[in-house]
Chain A
């Protein structure tokens, strides 16, 4: 069975890009439009990996990671942060919140897929 990815980003374009890239690579993709939607979907999505944007309305990416890591469901799921910043400070903050790794936007399709394959064992 293909791994199931939950992609959380408030940008339609990024969601579309993630979906098309990941589905082409054989993953099943569920998308969420902001942090609140993402955490809600996470409860039932049974995701093998979560990709989340950091800057989002209603709940940001740090909030999403916090909720996942302190929740009851699937708390050790790998969480990748999508960020436009490559700054060390932001990575540290994401790491402290419990992110597994990060992808710098704009992402390279192959790099993204290979990282996800590695993290999901697909």
Chain B
């Protein structure tokens, strides 16, 4: 019975090994490989095989064995690295990952995938390998029929030189024989000279004769000598009942405590200098890790959320107490805030994981998509060390897969078309991750044809998503891609079109509190940017006043805050105001008006503008009455109690115990009169329903 914790550890280790394997193969493909790279690749496969054997994962072991054999040939320079071999190795790496997954999920492997990869690997091996591949463990056959006939055996052995030098000890062998049955031991000492000082520690001077009674056969005896039968001139003979036992001179000389050769050595040998092994260039330290039940971390995160609320309550109370500025309590409170923040960051860091394994999976997705479409695509990953919450890493896999497939299927052109437009025949898809001011930004950048906006709009009109005469900005057109049921592919390809559209991608990302932005230049390519909050439970918010209400705007979406001068404001029509900032005009959205409350003053110059970045409307200036504070807030969902509220993403508890609503900048900035409104609303409903 294998401990499930060890099995779990095995799968974790497999993840690491698969990453190392994939890294190594990538280096080999890029020509950055040296002999150590091939060794490391070999070892990854070898380790998976070795450990998988312990859990009887036969399919995995079988495949890894063939894979490893090919790598061993490569390592021994009996195979040369060409494109075909590299492709086969990459494929084998993918299949190995599949087999690990199948083993983890306890489902049978997909032989339709495995077998071709296996025969591809085998094609690199000569016929001799098939024989070598025999994986037979000798089984002891025990005869259980017939009455037991017990006999005696005479075991004679004379240890040779290598016997002692390989760490063996006759006393231990004799003691093992003694465990099998009654023994009589005789040491033949004629090989000893009188001069004991001339004895060599590793020389065999004695011959041992052991008579062992009550044995069914000699198998157990052979077993005792399994490691030394070639080192000690072993003879095992059955003594028949009629054989004169008296022939053996029986003198028991089994010592009480076996002599410790090792300690003797230490005294007689001159201490050799111990060579210090210089750490090699490629030496990688194995990181030591601590495994924790995720539930404990979740409990900790909840407690930290409460701590943050408690901290703002205390801040508020202290502010209300109107203590003199000289009070030391102010400094103490700052320390407390700092510590609370550190604890929060520390707790979040426990859940943080590098995006590398996620990106590694995308390499494969890209490879398969390129093969399926017959296009040439390089996926370049950047920022693999960027750390994201574990949940985010897990939930991003599907959207990213979809987007990568889309980019290759629809974005990147065939090499013929690329050649016509003077681009390199191989398209480049970049997958990057970075941390930007409290957010994680993941970008998928292709150097393909760019979005065909005319066709996108045409499709949207056909599908009744927008009116034919609607005036849409480029950004608005781009975002039609995320509308439910939208698909621009004239025929749904087997690759990216699987009956789901980009709306599912958007839903998944929105559910993580993130957003997607698109920018596309015709002929140059398209960039999808996914912006995700660093943490899911706590966010940095700006506390604002509007129409007598206290509300929170996520800092992540605020670019800057402005107190407008009259000269920078202009008006179009009756209700539409614009702010001029650095030579550009951005629409002003009156938050009070959108929320149906009365602002403190009609004059915009009396108010504060928050310049925000939104998905659909680009930059907007959100007019609010005042800014109160900037602090961390614990996000609480309100959907359970109040359902979906347009423009509000949740609520938080402020220091004074009051509840403040959290503004959803994207929803609040959506033009209310636009034809987009209804579809945006549907889309949001859909997104929220999925959370």
Q: Which residues of A contact B (CB under 8 A)?
A: 10-14, 16-17, 20, 33-34, 36, 39-40, 43, 53, 55-59, 67, 69-79, 84, 86-87, 95, 98-102, 104-107, 118-121
Contact = CB atoms under 8 A, between A and B. Distances in A.
Interface stretch (B277-285, B406-414, B441-449): B277-285
Given A11-B13, A13-B9, A74-B262, A33 B50 contact: no
Contacts of B54: 13-14, 17, 105-107
* A11, A58, A59 interface centre (most CB from chain B within 10 Å): A11
B607 interface: no
A106 B224 CA distance: 20
B283 A104 contact: no
B272 A71 contact: yes
25 contacts: A13-B10, A14-B47, A14-B50, A14-B51, A16-B6, A16-B9, A20-B6, A33-B286, A34-B286, A36-B283, A55-B46, A57-B284, A69-B166, A71-B272, A74-B262, A74-B265, A75-B265, A76-B262, A79-B167, A84-B46, A84-B50, A99-B166, A101-B226, A106-B56, A121-B171
B314 to A, nearest CB: 45
B172 interface: yes
Contacts of B42: 55
Given A55-B43, A57-B43, A70 B272 contact: yes
B252 interface: no
Contacts of A71: 272, 274
B194 interface: no
B280 A58 contact: yes
- Main secondary structure, interface of A, reads loop
Given A39-B277, A55-B42, A78-B167, A11 B265 contact: no
Nearest to B20: A57
Interface string B159-176: 000101111110111011
Nearest to A36: B277
Nearest to A70: B272
Given A76-B201, A76-B202, A105-B54, 20 more contacts: A10-B47, A13-B9, A13-B54, A16-B9, A20-B3, A57-B39, A58-B280, A58-B283, A59-B277, A72-B272, A74-B262, A76-B164, A78-B167, A78-B168, A84-B50, A84-B53, A86-B137, A98-B166, A100-B166, A119-B168
Interface residues of B, number: 58
B624 to A, nearest CB: 54
A73 B283 contact: no
A50 B286 CA distance: 20
Interface of B: 3, 6, 9-10, 12-13, 39-40, 42-43, 46-47, 49-51, 53-56, 132, 136-137, 162, 164-169, 171-173, 175-176, 201-202, 224, 226-227, 230, 258, 261-262, 265-266, 269-272, 274-275, 277, 279-280, 282-284, 286
Contacts of B275: 67
A95 B51 CA distance: 23
Contact of A98 (B3, B12, B167, B171): B167
Contacts of B136: 86
Contacts of A14: 47, 50-51, 54
A39 B275 CA distance: 10
B51 A57 contact: no
B9 A100 contact: no
Contact of B224 (A79, A84, A98, A118): A118
The 4 closest A-B pairs by CB, nearest first: A101-B227, A106-B53, A78-B167, A13-B51
Contacts, number: 132
Contacts of A39: 277
Residue from the set A14, A36, A69, A104 with the largest chain B CB neighbour count within 10 Å: A14
A68 to B, nearest CB: 9
A100 B261 CA distance: 14
A110 B592 CA distance: 76
B168 A100 contact: yes
Contacts of A73: 266
Nearest to B17: A11
Contacts of A72: 266, 269-272, 274
Contacts of A10: 43, 47, 286
Nearest to B279: A36
A43 B12 CA distance: 31
Contacts of A69: 165-166
Contacts of A104: 137
A84 B62 CA distance: 12
B261 A76 contact: yes
A20 B6 CA distance: 9
Contacts of A78: 167-169
A56 B43 contact: yes
A25 B168 CA distance: 22
Contacts of A59: 277
Contacts of B270: 72
A79 B168 CA distance: 9
A59 B39 CA distance: 12
Contacts of B226: 101
A107 B53 CA distance: 9
Nearest to A119: B172
A97 B162 CA distance: 10
Contacts of B12: 12
B13 A12 contact: yes
A104 B227 CA distance: 13
Contacts of A98: 165-167
Nearest to A10: B47
Nearest to A121: B172
Nearest to A40: B277
B638 to A, nearest CB: 44
A59 B261 CA distance: 27
